[in-house]
Each structure stands twice: as structure tokens, then as C-alpha cells.
Chain A
Amino acid sequence: MTRARRIHVLAAGAALLGALAAAAILRPAMLDRAQAALSAGDYAAVGRLLGNRADVAADEGLLMTAVDGRLGRGDAEGALVLLTRYTASHPDALTARRKTAEILAVRGPRSALLAERRAIARLARSPEDWLALWRDADLNADTRAEREALEGLAKARPLLLVESLRLAEIEAASGASDAAFRRLTEALPRATSDAVAPDAASLLFALLAESGRAELAYRWWQRLAPDRLAPLPSLLALQMADHDPVAAKRLVDCFMAGSQPNADRAGCR
């Protein structure tokens, strides 16, 4: 490297350092002034202060002030542009993502909102965020997102009955019968019979019956179902449809025995 070149490099480095130092010094002052304008409801001033600053796209404090300034002027589209640009380069920026979701929740599109909810829930892992994802996944009829939301929620806090039942339904429908079975056997003992939707009880019942645990199926049904023999025809229909007459007979024996007082439920085993 020639001397002249060294001088150039040093000068450029010094300029860069200077600029960084200036930005570091000026940035808090700028931010303070912008935030003061924001507090005063002078959104136009916020725009004037931050409108053309490149570091708005890099500094979350400046960004959120600029975003609030735009929202204060009713410019949600402009705010969304700033937020989207920022989260593209800062995918973990939770505050920016929450603000984005807040706008998308009103503005749409629903697919973008769902993507934002998913990103937020994965970052924050809070029950509220998983619930918000569940709600929007349901509105979008997106079962995969529902499942992710409920599985995430299960890690954040114990699931409520209705949440467990829905997750088990999704698991069973996707072929994960064992997971559904485990989830239901865990959830249902905590439930009172009137809190359990018949279809949910039926799901567990079917899972048990399918796995040959007829007695357990019977016991669950006895506890949870309002009219104890009512499921027999449908269950038989299922077993027969599966070409399993032996299982069907076992069920009939079990239920007929169970419906008698003090009956020996040997047939259920």
C-alpha cells in the first residue's frame, strides 16, 4: 500500500468513525426531540425530524417513533412500509412485529397477519401470542397453524379443556392417534362431563376402541356420556366398517354387560 493510499484509507476510516460518533451523539438528541413532538401530538414535526433519516431503518427506537408519528397522522400505510422494511432486516424485532400485526389485524391481508402472528408467537412464546395465533389460524381455517399455536400454548401453560380437545382432534385427523389419545386421557379426567363436547368424548372413545381398549372406552363413556348406550350403534358401525367383527362383538358384550347393574364386565377386557 502506498503512503497516499494509506492516508486515504485512514481518512476514510476517520470519517466513518466520526460519522458514527456523530450519529451516536446526535441520535439521542434527535430521538428525544422526535419523542417530545410525538407526546405533543405534533406528528408533522416527527415526520420532519425523522422522515428522511436512513437510520430509521436501522434503529428500533427511531423506527417506532417514526411509526407512531405516521400513525398519529393516520398514515398506517406509511407506517407499515417502515415496519416491513425494518423487520425484513431485523426478523427478531418483537416490538416492530407487534405493531405490524396491530395494523394488519385491521388492514389485512389475513395471510400476512397470520404470518406475523406466527413470527411473534415463535419469538415471544407467551400464552397471549399463541392464543392470538390460534384465533387467526382458525379464522383462516389453517389447521397447521392451529396445531402450532396449540402446541406452543401447551408449552407456555397447561391447556384448557377446549384447547386440549381441539389439539387432539387435529392430531387424530392428521393420523397422530397416539398423541391424540395421550392428550385426551390427560385432559378429560380433569373435566366434568358437561364440559366435554360429545364429539370430543367420542374421539377418545373411538381411539380407545380402535386400540382394543374396550373396557377403558366403556369407563370413559360411562363417566362422560349423558346417555351411555347411545354411542353403541355408531361405534359398531365404525368397527363393522373396518371389517373387524370381533372387535364389534367385544364392544357389544362390554356394553351390554355394562348396562346391567352390578354386571360382570368381563366382555370388556
Chain B
Amino acid sequence: MTSINLEIGGTPLRIACDRRIMRRLRARYRQFLVTDEAPLGFVVQPPTVRNRRHVLLDRCGFRLGSASNPRHVAAMLDSHLSALLPLASSQARFRVRAVLDAEGVALCFFPVLFVPLSAVEQLQSTGYDVLDRLAVEIESGSGCMVRRLDPLDEIRGRSAGLDTAAIDRLVLPRTNQPLSPTRMEAAAVLCSEAIAGDRGDILDAAIAVVKQASVDTVQVTVANDLARVFPAR
């Protein structure tokens, strides 16, 4: 294992990875490279005989996602690193877990989908892709995810499917209330997961999202039956 040191948006961080990934990342983040050793930010574990996928971990060892293609791992990393870039006006940034399939993107809020690793692998084996601890920017006026014109944008999220502009599904934890949440209650949950942005932009973005998205609720238990979250394929 080796590492590269970056500084993005004033935040220094180090990415530990193997030499093959490092060469790819050095070329990708050329303008963010620094020489000083930075605190550990992410780790990209190389494939093993048992697990033939690259695994992306955060500095706490939390598994953020995995992919067999190094390009896809780099795209996941892009999504996380872009959260360090300054937020544009009229945008809000939210923390979500995204589940992607051919039909679109489902944004899941904590603690939804906080499931064991085996369940995530089960999801992946059926064609879903899971991106964890993701930061997405939402345009407050339209409620659409933003693809910004910055050096990371060219490749940011493209291979992971996050260039989808509209958010069509939200997955919320079911509350103690017997009825499904109203759209305003869904927007309030979305606001509580905001990590950056003006309060007004956060409110507008959350309401714009729930206006256009269908809202699914799930019972939040560790042994949750994932089939209840996503309809059978």
C-alpha cells in the first residue's frame, strides 16, 4: 500500500491505496496534489482472492462501497471528495446513502439501509449499486441533483449513475406514527440530513425534492427484509 496527499477546499487529506489505484488518482486529482503528509481520509483496499472488488473505506474503517472496476471506485471517491468543495449559492448539500439501479436513484436516509455487509453484497448481486455516506448537492429551485463545472465534475458520479438529474425516489425510516409521512414530514427528515447550505436553500431544496419524488417508508431494523424496501426485480 502507498498513499497520495491532497488538499481540496482547504482540507488536507491522504488516500491510502495500492500503486495501481494511486497512478490513476494522481492523474485524476493532479491540481489538488500536495507534498506534505496529510491526515488519513480514505482507504482503497485492493481486490483479494476472496473478494475480487476494490473496497472504499473512510478513515474510521467504515465501508463506503465497492466495485470491481477501478474506474468505478475512483468515481465513488469523486463523490465523497466533492463534498469538500465550496457549495455554490442556491444549493444545499445532503448526506444520503444512494441505491442505484437501471431505473434510477433511490436516496436513503440514515438509519435506513444501515444493514450488515452481507445485505449490501446481496443487493449488489441482484444488480443494485450502493454508495454510502454520500454527499449530494441539490438545486434549491428545481430539486435536481447538481453537476457542477469543476475539475471533479467531468468524471464525478458518471460511472456510478449519479448524473441522473431528477431524484425519483426517497426512502425514509418509518416513524412511530401509524400513517405514512406527509410530504412535509419527508421534507423535514431530508432537512435533518443536510450538511451544508443556507437554511432557506435547504428548506427549498428539500421541498422541491419531495414534490417530485415518490416516498417509500421502511421499518428500520438491522434484520430488515430488503424486499420490503425495493420491489422484487
A pairs with B: no
B→A interface (CB under 8 Å): none
